[in-house]
Structure 1
Amino acid sequence: MVSKRKTIKQDDLWNQKWQAYKDFMVKNKRRPSKHRAEDLVLFDWFKHSKKLLKRGQMKADRIGKFKQLLSEADNLPRKNNYRYSDVGMYVKPNRIHLYDYQEEMLSRVETEFHRHRSLMVQMPTGTGKTYLLVAVVSDFIRNTGGHVWIVTHRRELVQQVKSTIRKFKDLVDDATDIEKHATVYSIQWLTRHYGEVEKKPGLIIIDEAHHAVAKTYSSVINAFPQSKILGLTATPCRLTAQPFTDLFEELLQSWTIGEFIAKKYLSLYDYMSVRPSSADIRIINGLNRRGVDGDFSVREMAEKLDIRPSLQRLCDTVLRYAKNKKGIVYAINIQHAEHIAEFYRENGIKAEAVSNKTPTRKRNDILKRFKETPTDGSRPLRDDDIQVIVNVQLFDEGWDVPDAEFIQLARPTLSLSKYLQMVGRGLRVYGGKKFCIILDNVGSYRLFGLPSDERDWERMFEGKLAGKGMVDENSLSDQFDNHDYVEEVSDDSDTDMMMLLDHSGLSGDLNENFGYKIVKGRKGLYGIVDKDGNEIIPCEHGKITLRPNAIAQLFDKDGSETDDSWIDLISGVRFRFEPSVTRKDSLELTTRDKFKFYPRVKSKWMNSEAYTLREILNCGVDDGLRFRNFYIQPSEPRKLYKYVERIDNKTLYVDEDENYFVRTDYEQPLKKTTLEEWKEDKQSRKDELSTTGLDDGGEWYWNWASDYRKNGGKTVKIGFLEFTEKEGGYQYNYDTSQISFRRDEFIVPHLIRRQIRMREDICFLGDNYIVTKSRPHVLFHIYQRYIDGRRFDVEFYAYPSMRYYCRRLYYDGNNPPIVGNSEIRDASDVDRERSDKRWKKLREEMQ
């Protein structure tokens, strides 16, 4: 129990600090600063008192006095003369403002500089690193009077940064101070002349610090050991996995892109990509040369992608999915950019190509015309309007075009940094722009995921993870050889894009991922509720740690950690170690080991055994995901359907409410049905069939009930195949004369019409055979099918080699089927297994 004397003493101390703070402001016409040692006592007292007031823990008799002090302090210059507003940001009337996250980062930088000499700050593209830079510079100049060097990695960016500082010079009290005390240099000039510069730096700021290479920058940094070092970047990663720790001691991370979008600081987006089996993707999969930076060779990219069919597909994509919108296209090189712009103009799109070689005056004119071009129909387009800017290494870093309504990726890259810099230019919030369309014509999502996916920046900063996109070794590009793929030059402009994620789906995902909060129960224990206040985790835990993307760690009542303390709040799946969140097309998944992936669906059926594998995900999920005994359709990525049974080409599913749905072949979405309707359909099919016996695999052959031994029959054509029709049944006309010996597996049974499932490029004959349009004289026998419904292990007889092959066939329901080039197992092994099965059956019959 606190004594009365002690309470009086504490009150006296508080009142003394209050009076000292008041006297300090009257005398110095400013607040105490954390940068001055003599001010720290009063600064810390004021900061602590504000926290008590905010939490409602300040004594009642002190509240009035402290609020009076707050009011007086608010009228004094603080952090560039900002005034703290009721929406949580420092505002200078009619001028620029710092958002709460920028102010928070500014405070973290100032605090960490007391403990470290060098820091790297990570903030996503479009979240205002420039505002933070100017705030840091102006605070440093005001508090120390020292000089600041701002270092860029390219010479052409020097004038741009100078113009930016000039634009924001009214952030500071003295408009001339920031230009007088801050100088911008390129690293190329500085490494040769830093010893000649008269004004030595107290602070060195490295812009776009992911380009900072220790060998180049260390000579400058080491020459001024008393200077503070600050690096700014959106992407602290390198293709080579080289760490940044040789230049920077600590990484300060801002929010994730997803959280910025959820809080409306960045724009929602639609993400559309070409299909994995498209012509351009097959070309990209065949790119095997690398540049000096480890990325794709520019020369090889230009040779294979700067061709008329590819240009036409780019143009067709814009016309179909972003017509009459303004956007930025990222090209391979200057010639590629000019070819794209010319092709777009020929097709009615007002486009211009720009690069770092474009004269500054012309570049600024193009940018001005682009910004003045309307897209709302307020006036007709004029001859000098520009709808599309095709650029090369210009708008990926440092250039601000917030009104871009779409981004088109026309150049592939292996660099995560380049990818995020490019797509990030479309995520800036601007005026009436509701969302941005990202047109991925090079399939970059296969390497990097989507822009809002979570990244492990800490490991990349430490050099434990490369910022490099890698096609998984089990993916289609490795299963099927594309290196010798050469496209026929044609004018085919069919560019079918698939929607990986639309803005409404993204909004729903983010509301769920960032809509949770920790609550305290009556017994002092903690739980979690969602944004609507619904209980997700009961108040039964002594401690809870809430991570981004709806991941939490739950502790026991005594605060101890359990074996499966980590939980995905969406699916309810528990983990022993912290899982990461990833995305495949429209689906979000959690994984701990990159081997087992758990779909983030809300279902009582989800548990630690309800996972899918990387190999299945690599085959694509654009028509849904089949895993275990479940199915998720793309239009409902949070809902789980359970498999019931299959008849011919129809599959029956049920949801948690016991509603039944049927899917025919690959069609979407599922169609609602009843169990009675299904049973009637099932019986009607059985009535048309009769069984003739079991095959060697223990499955029934279904034959037409009529007598097939009748003479006659007529030849009919179904799709690209010919059949002999008898009494309403069909016999596939497959020529077995060239087969060196008879194999029962290659004798196709008689079929009814429903068992012939003909599509444009492929035909399924019953459940055991496939014929493709590209090889109509080859019969593929299915000896293993996978649960995803896309992959089939098949055997077939090839002439004139006169031997059997075992390969993997892939068919996604939309694109032509692909047959792998490598043997997946020896055909003799299949024969041996089949022979063993026959002998086993024969022995059982003899016994």
Structure 2
Amino acid sequence: MNAPLFSFLPDYERATFPEPRGFQDPAIEKIIAGRRDGHRRQMLVAPTGAGKTYLGLKLAHATLKIGKKATFVCDRKSLIKQTSEVASAYGLHQHGIIQAQNPRFNMDLPFQIASVQTIMDRGWHDTDLIVVDEAHTIYKTLKDHILSTRATVIGLSATPFTNGLGEIFTNLINAATMSELTQSGDLVPMRVLSCTRIDMEGAKTSDGEWTDKAAAERGMQIVGDVVSEWSRYAENRKSIVFASNIKHCDELCRQFNECGILAEVFTSKTKDDDRDRILNEYRKPDSLIRVLISVEALAKGFDVKDVSCVVDCRPLRKSLSTAIQMWGRGLRASKETGKTDCLLLDHSGNIVRFIEDFTEFFHDGLDSLHQGEKLDRIVRKDVKERETAECPKCGYRPFFKRCMSCGHETITGPAVAARAGEMREIVIGKQTVARDQRHLWDQLSAYAREHSRSEKQYWRAFHLFRKIAGSEPPKAWGLSTEPVPVDAAIVRKIKSMDIAFKKAREAA
């Protein structure tokens, strides 16, 4: 039996968390309500900047305070250390770490932070709550345990797009969307520059996705352009570069360093001592390391707030989740460093391939885990006209229907006609469906309350109103609670719009 680190019973009552942001406590309340409704396995979707670790540790704290046990599971060494440091900062320093050769291994403590690889090798321990960080990465043995354990399981993910998640988790909760976090200042806007493109024409694929080897071989041909265009556009920005494999990383690093730009490679092959040295230096505000180069090791959960440039040199056709994880490394706000935006230097073409689905996810999040699964199964094709498409209102590009910078949305025209007269009746076809715009709003609010989750009801009614009436509802109108019947013609119109939208997406 290992010796306990503490000679007294853990006191978790004294833990203190930062003041929650507006969406965080409601997200936790939804988790609790879901558990009361019988959902033992729930997925909490929280974009970069939403504080997934904060939410997970707060759930663990609530469990520990009532005398039960909690385990926070991470799938990467760097994330275990990062989570342990954050937990200690909140006052949850009385925890053990289940990780090979970690000196803080202590199974006597009720709170454990665990490496998923170690815990799968050694076997599971008794616990009441399991929080799974980066829960879109599900190993078979982890899945089997989640399905069989008596413990409550909460998955945390910014991109729950993995096939099969809908079979594991029975309830989906969106903490916030990327758009909402950008508007609140928790994320910074992304500025995109389309740079010299890796030519992937005819490159080898596997299951519809370009192979890492093929992407790396093509990427080698433009390494000089990557370095020169970074020097031109992002010289004063702390940056992360994503490459296709380790050989590609090494060549990029070599050419950055030859140009006098201090760069380091950080991959699964980086030794522990080098990891600590590199990250300790890179986290400094005045870090000598200006460019960190990786494949996957920095794509998930890595948090250095003053990173303000992401260089995407990893072409993808299917994995929107990987693209979002890469881009998200530079989106976290950092007011203390004066960061105002994130520059994406797109050498891969990913932003153009994924712009349609990314725009929808950016503004609306996910409706279901099955929807998320589809987003990583579709092979996207290059659409050249999207390369230069820009928002007609603010000029942001690339633009697809709804701007990720200013929110402007293109409208093809009103779906209804308005009859002349004092009350301006709302007409679909030849049938009057509402006495006036307010009556239409009451009906659409009633429809949204019945068919959408609470956090999406207002915006569902808002977009339906705009499409049907051809204008936005007055800003002073909140979601109506009037118990009005919804005209059958309105219901038919909504269904026809939904069908048209789905067909357009399938065609695209």
Pairwise same-fold verdict (TM > 0.5) = yes
Compute the displacement of 1:124 (Å). 0.8
Where 2:194 maps in the other structure, the secondary structure is strand
CA contact (8 A) 2:131 2:156 kept: yes
**RMSD (Å) for aligned C-alpha atoms:** 3.7
2:300 is aligned to 397
Name the structure 2 match of 1:433.
Answer: 339
Q: Which has the larger radius of gyration?
A: 1
Determine the C-alpha separation between the residues in 2 that align with 1:100 and 1:511: 26
- Whether 2:74 is the aligned partner of 1:152: answer yes
Q: Distance in 1 between matches of 2:45 and 2:135?
A: 9
Given that 1:80 and 1:171 are in contact with CA atoms closer than 8 Å, whether structure 2 keeps it comes out as no
- In the alignment of these two chains, the number of paired residues is 417
Q: What corresponds to 2:275 in structure 1? A: 363
CA distance in 2, matches of 1:450, 1:321: 26
Q: Mapping of 1:804-823 within 5 angstroms? A: none
Misfit runs of 4+, over 6 Å: 79-82, 510-513, 554-557
* Residue of structure 2 in register with 1:259 after alignment: 180
Match of 1:193 in 2: 122
Secondary structure of 1:105's counterpart equals helix
CA contact (8 A) 1:117 1:227 kept: yes
- 2:167 alignment partner, SS class: coil
When residues 441 and 576 of structure 1 are mapped into structure 2, their CA distance, relative to the original with a 3 A threshold, is same
Please state whether the residue corresponding to 1:453 is helix, strand or coil: helix
Q: Which residue of 2 aligns with 1:417?
A: 321
Q: Compared with structure 1, are the counterparts of its residues 279 and 267 closer, same or farther at alpha carbon in structure 2 (3 Å cutoff)?
A: closer
Greater relative CO, 1 or 2 (CA 8 Å, sep 6+): 2
Q: Hey, what's the Cα distance between the residues in 1 that align with 2:378 and 2:237?
A: 30
Q: 1:602-613, aligned counterparts within 5 Å? A: none
Question: Is 2:159–2:321's contact at 8 Å kept on the other side of the alignment?
Answer: yes
Contact 1:148 1:182 in 2 (8 A): yes
| Amino acid in structure 1 at the alignment position of 2:30 | R
The DSSP-based 3-state class of the residue aligned with 1:270 is: strand
Work out the CA distance in 1 between the residues paired with 2:461 and 2:254.
Answer: 43
1:267·1:435 contact (CA, 8 Å) conserved in 2?
A: yes
Deviations 1:232-268 (A, max 9, x none): 1111112xxx331322111111222112112222111
What is the rounded CA distance, in whole Å, between the counterparts of 1:345 and 1:451 in structure 2?
36
Q: Please report how far the alpha carbon of residue 333 of structure 1 lies from its aligned counterpart in structure 2 after TM superposition.
A: 1.6
Does residue 287 in structure 1 map to residue 208 in structure 2? no
Q: 1:511 to 1:264 in 2, by over 3 A?
A: farther
Q: Which runs of 5+ in 2 are unaligned?
A: 1-11, 98-108, 386-395, 412-425, 427-435, 449-457, 469-479
Taking every aligned residue pair, what percent have the same amino acid on both sides? 23
What is the TM-score when the length of structure 1 is the normalising length? Answer: 0.45
Quote the residue 1:176 is aligned against.
94
Amino acid in the other structure paired with 1:114: R
Alignment of 1:226-625 (within 5 A): 226-238=150-162, 242-274=163-195, 280=198, 283-290=199-206, 295-307=209-221, 310-372=222-284, 374=286, 385-413=288-316, 414-431=318-335, 432-449=338-355, 453-455=359-361, 457-461=366-370, 465-472=374-381, 475=383, 499-500=397-398, 506-509=404-407, 538-541=437-440, 542-543=442-443, 544=445, 545=448, 546-547=458-459, 551-552=463-464, 558-564=484-490, 576-577=495-496, 592-595=501-504
> TM-score of the superposition, structure 2-length normalised?
0.72
Structure 1 residue 151 displacement after superposition: 2.6
Residues 1:391 and 1:402: Cα distance change in structure 2 (over 3 Å): same
Structure 1 residues 149 and 273: CA distance shift in structure 2, 3 A: same
Q: Secondary structure at the match of 1:421?
A: helix
Letter in 2 for 1:273: S
2:26 corresponds in structure 1 to 104
Alignment match, 2:63: 140
Q: Where does 1:670-689 land on structure 2 (aligned, <5 Å)?
A: none
Q: 1:659 maps to what in 2?
A: none
Cα deviation for residue 330 of structure 1 reads 0.5
Report the secondary structure of 1:231's partner residue.
strand
1:209/1:232 contact within 8 Å kept: yes
Q: What letter corresponds to residue 200 of structure 2 in structure 1?
A: I
Contact 2:309 2:342 in 1 (8 A): yes
Over residues 332-357 of structure 1, what are the superposed CA-to-partner deviations in whole Å (9 max), with x where a residue is unaligned?
12221121122122234332222122
For residue 54 of structure 2, the aligned residue among 103, 116, 131 is 131
Q: Deviations over 1:665-717 (max 9, x none)?
A: xxxxxxxxxxxxxxxxxxxxxxxxxxxxxxxxxxxxxxxxxxxxxxxxxxxxx
Distance 1:561 1:406, change over 3 A: farther
Which structure has more helix as a fraction of its residues?
A: 2
- Out of 129, 135, 143, the position equivalent to 1:209 is 135
More strand by share: 1
